[in-house]
Each structure stands twice: as C-alpha cells, then as structure tokens.
C-alpha cells in the first residue's frame, strides 16, 4: 500500500493508475476506521482495480461546538486496517495541503441539505460537498463508496455529482451493525460502557417505527413510536425521529418507499441511524 500525504504525490499515483487503464475506487473517510469502513474497502476491492482510501478530518463539516478537536485520530491503526482490507493507496493530507480554512469558494449543498441534519448542523453539508469535490478532483475515482448510515449525506452528494456532472458513480453499501443493532460509527468510541449499552435504542426505535408503519402505513404514529422508544431510554435526548422520502428527505408521498431517520444524543455523543421501509411492505399503502 502506497502512502501519499501531498496532493502532488496522490496525483502521481492516480496518473500511474490511469496510464495503466486501471479503474479507481475511492473510500473517503474521517479516519478512526472500523468494520463499516472495511466493508466499503472490500466492496471497492471487488469492483475496482485500484482502491484509494482518504483519511482527512475536514474542519469545514464540523460546527463551532462540535467534536472536531476530540475526533479520534490514530494513523498507525488506520493504516493497518486499510492495508488489511486491500487498500492500494492511502491519502492522508495534512490540513495545510487541503487548505479548507482558506478557500475562496465552497459548494452550496442542494435541497436535501436544508432539513434534519442540515437544519441542525448549518454548513455541515456544504463542508462535506466541498471536501468530497476536492477529493474527487485529486484522486479521480470512477466509483466512490459510502455507507447507508449517512443516508442524507448520500442524497446530498448524489445531487452534487448529478448537478455538477462529476464523472463518479456513488455506491452506497449497507450499514454494518453490532449484534444489538447499533450502527458502527467512529463516534461510538466516545461512549462509556453504560452509554454503549443504551445506544442500541436508536436501532430499537427504528425497528418500532418500521413495525408501526408496516402494520398501519400511518406516518404520524410511526414517528411517535420512534420518539417514544428513544425517550424511554435514560440519558438519551432526541434530536429527531422522522419518516421521510429517501431522496428528498421531505414528507414522503403516498405509495412510496419511506426512510426512517433518527438522531439522538446518548450522554454527550450524538448518533444517527436510519432504516428503509419499502412501500410494498406497508399495509394500506400499496396493493
Ligand atoms: O462520511 C464521512 O466520513 C465524511 O463526511 C466524508 C464523506 C469522508 C467527508 O469528509
């Protein structure tokens, strides 16, 4: 596995791959790699000639009171994991190489960015789009791999590649979960043992919402069931529990698939998760 820290070094590796007619698959990450990232790398390994992994804690996507400084960083461990998962190129640019604090322009994220995560974290999706656009330009992948856990980010990035004609296909891979349903996330590292046990409530809430939706097709009852399940767990504060259209993140239309999305603080750690409920599995919504 090659390591590139500068844009020029990364471009040299990418140029070499392109000269050999190799396809490049990119797994963009914030580091603190876990089995969720490994599943993305394995998927990329299966379908691309060259697997590039980027590790960059992008300051633009963190709000002023968020966990930028505390975000877990362990380069050695990440490199071992990436190599074990079959990565060919690890791009770890230092902040001065990406110049995120000194950009004269940023991408303004499209409409799925205005609600839920976007409304609660102003500027977050603009920061994500801007760094992903830079990574696409530097590493020039044909395919880029993202986890379903970040469903709203995936919808926003889909809008970006479509509207700005990036020649990159986005591949969304299933969320990897612990045995109690907790979605893998680098932020799980912040949880104490007691909070870790409580955190599975996000998955239980989604499951309760799916159950209500499948039986009744009733959005309001579904959202109430998710919020109630979250509220029943101690030291959990609900940010939102919604049933939305999977593409627009607005109120779903009749007879469509529905994405259940939850965000909650477990202690001081903010977690998100989601679950897709197919329209045809909902009583009263489809024949
Ligand atoms: O999902 C993430 O890990 C980040 O938002 C991403 C896509 C690497 C951009 O910094």
Q: Of 13-17, 133-137, 254-258, 279-283, which gets the smallest average pLDDT?
A: 279-283
- Ligand 1 center to 97 CA (angstroms): 17
Q: d(Cα 57, Cα 67) in Å, to the nearest integer?
A: 11
- Ligand 1 center to 211 CA (angstroms): 31
Q: Which atom of ligand 1 is nearest to the CA of 147?
A: 1
Average pLDDT of 73-84?
98
Q: Which two tokens stand for residue 1?
A: 């596995």
Q: d(Cα 26, Cα 36) in Å, to the nearest integer?
A: 15
Average pLDDT of 230-238?
97
Q: Is 128 in the pocket of ligand 1 (CB under 6 A)?
A: yes
Q: Which atom of ligand 1 is nearest to the CA of 128?
A: 9
> If you average pLDDT over every residue of the chain, what do you get?
96
- Ligand 1 center to 285 CA (angstroms): 35
Q: List C-alpha distances in Å: 221 to 45, 209, 211, 225.
A: 42, 8, 10, 6
- Ligand 1 center to 280 CA (angstroms): 32
User: In this structure, which residue's CA is closest to atom 2 in ligand 1?
Assistant: 29
**Three-state DSSP class for 144?**
strand
CA angle 91, 177, 240 (to 5 degrees): 95
Q: d(Cα 152, Cα 113) in Å, to the nearest integer?
A: 7
Average pLDDT of 119-140?
98
- Residue with structure tokens 């090659």? 2
Q: Which atom of ligand 1 is nearest to the CA of 56?
A: 10
The percentage of the chain sitting over the pLDDT mark of 90, rounded to a whole number, equals 94
The confidence score (pLDDT) of residue 285 equals 61
CA angle 11, 13, 14 (to 5 degrees): 60
Check residue 190 and report its DSSP letter. G
Q: Which two tokens stand for residue 284?
A: 């009263």
User: In this structure, which residue's CA is closest to atom 5 in ligand 1?
Assistant: 128
Handedness of CA 134, 144, 174, 31 (dihedral sign): negative
Residue 274 has pLDDT above 60, yes or no: yes
Q: What is the length of the chain?
A: 287
Q: Could you say which of 18, 20, 34, 37 is catalytic?
A: 37
The string of pLDDT tens digits covering residues 147-185 is 999 999 999 999 999 999 999 999 999 999 999 999 999
Residue 27 has pLDDT above 90, yes or no: yes
Q: Is 260 in the pocket of ligand 1 (CB under 6 A)?
A: no
- Ligand 1 center to 269 CA (angstroms): 18
Q: Which two tokens stand for residue 32?
A: 């603190």
User: In this structure, which residue's CA is closest to atom 6 in ligand 1?
Assistant: 29
The confidence score (pLDDT) of residue 280 equals 75
Average pLDDT of 129-135?
98
Domains of the chain: 2-173 (3.40.50.620), 186-277 (3.30.1300.10)
Nearest to 284 by CA among 213, 221, 235, 229: 213
User: In this structure, which residue's CA is closest to atom 9 in ligand 1?
Assistant: 128
Q: Is 21 left (phi over 0), alpha (psi -120 to 50) or beta?
A: left
Q: d(Cα 223, Cα 263) in Å, to the nearest integer?
A: 12
Q: Is 127 in the pocket of ligand 1 (CB under 6 A)?
A: no
Q: Is 92 in the pocket of ligand 1 (CB under 6 A)?
A: no
For 56, how many CA atoms within 13 A lie in the half-sphere containing its CB? 31
Q: Sheet of 24-29: strands edge to edge?
A: 2-4, 89-91, 50-55, 24-29, 143-147, 169-173
Q: Is 50 left (phi over 0), alpha (psi -120 to 50) or beta?
A: beta
- 65 counts as catalytic: no
């Amino acid at each position: 596995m090659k390591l590139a820290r500068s844009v020029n070094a990364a471009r040299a590796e990418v140029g070499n791959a392109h000269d050999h007619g190799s396809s490049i698959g990119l797994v963009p990450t914030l580091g603190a790699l876990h089995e969720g990232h490994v599943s993305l790398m394995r998927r990329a390994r299966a379908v691309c000639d060259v697997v590039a992994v980027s590790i960059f804690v992008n300051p633009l996507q963190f709000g002023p009171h968020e966990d930028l400084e505390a975000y877990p960083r362990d380069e050695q461990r990440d490199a071992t994991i990436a190599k074990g998962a079959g990565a060919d190129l690890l791009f770890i640019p230092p902040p001065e190489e990406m110049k995120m604090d000194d950009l004269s322009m940023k991408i303004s994220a499209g409409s799925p960015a205005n609600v839920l995560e976007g409304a609660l974290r102003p500027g977050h999706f603009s920061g994500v789009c801007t760094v992903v656009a830079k990574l696409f330009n530097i590493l020039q992948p044909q395919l880029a791999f993202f986890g379903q856990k970040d469903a709203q980010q995936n919808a926003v990035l889909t809008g970006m590649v479509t509207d700005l004609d990036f020649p990159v296909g986005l591949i969304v891979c299933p969320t990897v979960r612990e045995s109690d349903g907790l979605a893998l996330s680098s932020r799980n590292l912040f949880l104490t043992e007691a909070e870790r046990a409580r955190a599975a409530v996000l998955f239980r809430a989604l499951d309760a919402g799916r159950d209500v939706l499948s039986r009744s097709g009733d959005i309001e009852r579904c959202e109430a069931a998710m919020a109630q399940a979250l509220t029943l767990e101690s030291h959990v504060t609900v940010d939102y529990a919604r049933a939305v259209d999977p593409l627009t993140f607005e109120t779903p239309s009749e007879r469509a698939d529905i994405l259940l999305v939850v965000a909650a603080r477990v202690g001081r750690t903010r977690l998100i998760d989601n679950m897709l409920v197919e329209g045809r599995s909902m009583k009263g919504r489809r024949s």
